[in-house]
Chains A and B, each alone.
Chain A
Amino acid sequence: MAEFSTSVVDKGNVSVINLSGYLDAHTAPTLENDFTELIDQNQFKIVVNFRDLAYISSAGLGVFMAYIEKIRDNKGDIKLTNMNEKVYNIFDLLGFPLLYEIFKSEDEAINKFSESDGIGTK
């Protein structure tokens, strides 16, 4: 059976969603719930850490598309970090790097939010 899990960790005023396992049409609702809960709490600064994600299909990619506009309308963003090469290649094939900022490390992504708030370190 496909194993997929997420954990949400608050780091300052940014929420980090950690992904682990296989993200497909079966497991995508788990990630949708995380986004819905964060948005319900008016949390729009979201970093998604892909470090432990082994696999993504287009059903998983669709989740990012579903929430991005609402989040940006509320002056937030979804920033992506720590993707392995295989997962990055799928994002790249579909042109997602044009729409999302992708960082090597979680700290870089979190700092990017601080910079745009004008209170972070350069």
Chain B
Amino acid sequence: MELARNKKNTGELVVKSRTENLSLIRDFISNQASNSGLSAEEIENIMLAVDEACTNIIRHAYKSYPEGDIVIKLEYNHEKLIISIIDHGNTFNPDTVPDPDLQKYYRNGKVGGLGMYLMKTLMDDVKYISVPGKYNKVLLSKSINA
């Protein structure tokens, strides 16, 4: 997922792995994407997908360690918006996360995988790239139909 041609806009935010930064992350996405040609509703959905990705990083990659870095980059051209989110926490295998099963959650009182399901539903494409011991990268993309 690269935007080689007609790159229009790029922004970057680096925050520590703390849930208190989720609002900062959402504001960053909302501001950076505001002129992308995506509708307000689409931008809200992307905001939620990024919130879910970062919540997973804080909880699972950094296991709530508050000093990890999360690097979020947003770029778009006239046809596509791509967000990359990099962390240096534990490597995470998305294939081990099952699709949500509400009946099971009801029995257990515990949810898991809802965030990832939302990311896949709200974005056109979600990709995970991990280099164990170095970094994990989540790529989220959305087509722009201006």
A: residues with CB less than 8 A from B are 1-2, 22, 24-26, 55, 57-59, 61-62, 65-70, 86, 90, 93-96, 98-99
Contacts and interface: CB of A to CB of B under 8 A. Distances in A.
A23 to B, nearest CB: 11
Contacts of A59: 55, 115
A57 B95 CA distance: 22
A68 B106 contact: yes
Nearest to A54: B44
B142 to A, nearest CB: 16
B8 interface: no
Main SS at interface, chain B? helix
Q: Which 5 A-B pairs have the closest CB atoms?
A: A2-B23, A26-B19, A58-B114, A62-B111, A58-B115
Interface of B: 19-20, 22-24, 26, 41, 44, 48, 51-52, 55, 58-59, 100, 102, 105-107, 109-111, 114-115, 117-118, 121
A2 B22 contact: yes
B117 A66 contact: no
Nearest to B118: A58
A94 B109 contact: no
B23 A94 contact: no
Contacts of B19: 24-26
Nearest to A57: B51
A18 B53 CA distance: 28
Given A55-B26, A58-B55, A59-B115, 20 more contacts: A2-B22, A25-B51, A25-B55, A25-B58, A25-B59, A26-B22, A26-B23, A58-B115, A65-B110, A66-B109, A66-B111, A69-B106, A86-B44, A90-B118, A94-B100, A94-B102, A94-B114, A94-B117, A95-B100, A96-B102
